[in-house]
């Protein structure tokens, strides 16, 4: 029985990170009813951006947030203003194409600038691990990842519940016409929401860079994880995203323990397919 305790606990912790990965995708869908195919690339872009500061200034990766977060917020804001706002109210196809094009551009830009070499954001936290009652080991970085996941989702939740911007975002999502009559400018609110979604992508990107190695093409696998999280947990639901992350994390690690270490991803996808079959809108989904 105890052999499953380690993948279970570690899966839950990793799930916190997965939730942080998924929340950006979930937000863009919940608010603007669009799927941002460049989400993974935006994450990895932040990883590389952090890498620059780690190598140039010798900063510990977590400190690079000081630079990475404002920069990625502005990037997200500008992307919405100059790219996506042009196709507001024009259906999903245009948005999908633009975001897909953006992902290709970003991927290739990163390939050109940073070369295809494997990278990692070096941190002592990766080597350390906690010995829990001699039963199993928990890498400290997983604890950091999970804590960050909690923090990100918690802050987003607070923002949505308690600030004018949060109410405006939710109102625009419920009924855009009525929201405009309240004085809400959709273009500006969407740009702010996108800025925030990209910040969450950046946070998870840096954490991913600290926890695993990354390449210019790593964006795709994390986009798939984000999809998994959102599909399992339910579109447009914040607690759903959290639940989805936990379930995906546990499915991967426990499945990997049962079937074999090479089958982690597959185990996650199997659970995803099961959820999609019995409850297509996701466990806590409503839209």
Partner 1 sequence: MLMLEVRDLNLYYGGFQALIDITLHVERDQIVSILGSNGAGKSTLLKAISGLLKPSSGTIHYNGGRIDHLDPHEIVRLGLALVPEGRKIFSSLTVLENLLIGSYVPEARRTKDEQLENVFELFPRLRERKGQLGSTLSGGEQQMLAIGRALMSQPHLIVFDEISLGLSPVIVQHLYQAVNRIKEKGMVVVLVEQDVKRSLKTADFAYILQEGKISLKGNPRDFTDEEVKKAYFGL
Q: Which residues of this protein are in contact with partner 1, per CB under 8 A?
A: 164, 167-168, 170-171, 173-175, 177-185
Q: Which is nearer to partner 1, 71 or 88 (CB)?
A: 88
Q: Compute the distance between CA of residue 6 and CA of residue 123 in angstroms, rounded to an integer.
A: 23
| DSSP label of 119 | B
Q: What minimum distance in Å lies between the beta carbon of 177 and partner 1? A: 7
**Residue 19 corresponds to which tokens in the numbers above?**
């939730």
Q: How far is the CB of 171 from partner 1 (least distance, A)?
A: 5
Question: Given the complex with partner 1, which of 128 and 287 has the nearer CB atom?
Answer: 287
Please say which residue, 130 or 182, places its beta carbon nearer to partner 1: 182
58 Ramachandran zone, left/alpha/beta (phi>0; psi -120 to 50)? left
Burial class (CB in 10 A: 0-12, 13-18, 19+), 37: buried
- Counting other chains too, the contacts that 165-168 makes at CB distance below 8 Å and 24 or more residues apart are 165/189, 165/192
Question: Coil, helix or strand for 83?
Answer: coil
Closest CB to partner 1 among residues 169, 198? 169
- Minimum Å gap between C-beta 168 and partner 1 is 6
Evaluated on CA atoms 270, 198, 43, 152, the torsion sign reads: negative
Q: Quick one: 55 or 185, whose CB is closer to partner 1?
A: 185
CA dist list (Å): 125 to 32, 62, 144, 213, 236: 37, 11, 9, 14, 33
* Closer of 115 and 185 to partner 1 (Cβ): 185
In terms of CB distance, is 134 or 174 closer to partner 1?
174
Minimum Å distance from CB 184 to partner 1?
6
CB of 78 to partner 1, least distance (A): 21
Q: What is the DSSP string of 194-232?
A: HHHHHHHHHHHHHHHHHHS-B-GGGHHHHHHHHHHHHHH
Residue 155: CB minimum distance to partner 1, A: 18
Shortest CB 181 distance to partner 1, Å: 5
What does the alpha-carbon distance between residue 56 and residue 18 come to, in Å, rounded to a whole number? 29
């Amino acid at each position: 029985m105890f052999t499953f305790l380690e993948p279970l606990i570690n899966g839950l912790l990793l799930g916190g990170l997965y939730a942080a990965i998924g929340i950006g995708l979930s937000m863009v869908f919940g608010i603007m009813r669009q799927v941002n195919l460049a989400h993974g690339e935006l994450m990895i872009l932040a990883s590389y951006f952090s890498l620059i500061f780690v190598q140039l200034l010798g900063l510990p990766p977590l400190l690079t947030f000081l630079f990475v977060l404002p920069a990625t917020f502005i990037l997200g804001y500008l992307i919405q203003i100059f790219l996506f706002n042009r196709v507001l109210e024009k259906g999903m196809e245009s948005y999908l194409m633009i975001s897909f094009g953006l992902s290709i551009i970003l991927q290739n830009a990163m390939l050109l600038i940073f070369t295809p070499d494997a990278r990692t954001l070096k941190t002592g936290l990766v080597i350390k691990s906690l010995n829990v009652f001699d039963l199993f080991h928990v890498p400290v970085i997983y604890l950091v990842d999970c804590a960050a996941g909690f923090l990100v989702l918690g802050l987003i939740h607070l923002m949505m519940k308690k600030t004018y911007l949060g109410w405006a975002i939710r109102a625009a999502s419920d009924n855009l016409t009525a929201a405009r009559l309240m004085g809400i400018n959709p273009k500006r609110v969407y740009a702010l929401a996108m800025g925030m979604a990209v910040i969450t992508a950046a946070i998870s990107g840096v954490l991913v860079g600290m926890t695993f190695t990354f390449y210019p093409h790593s964006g795709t696998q994390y986009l798939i994880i984000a999809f998994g999280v959102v599909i399992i947990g339910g579109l447009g639901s914040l607690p759903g995203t959290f639940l989805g992350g936990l379930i995906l994390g546990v499915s991967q690690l426990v499945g990997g323990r049962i079937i074999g270490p090479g089958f982690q991803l597959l185990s996650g996808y199997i659970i995803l397919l099961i959820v999609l079959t019995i409850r297509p809108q996701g466990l806590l989904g409503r839209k």
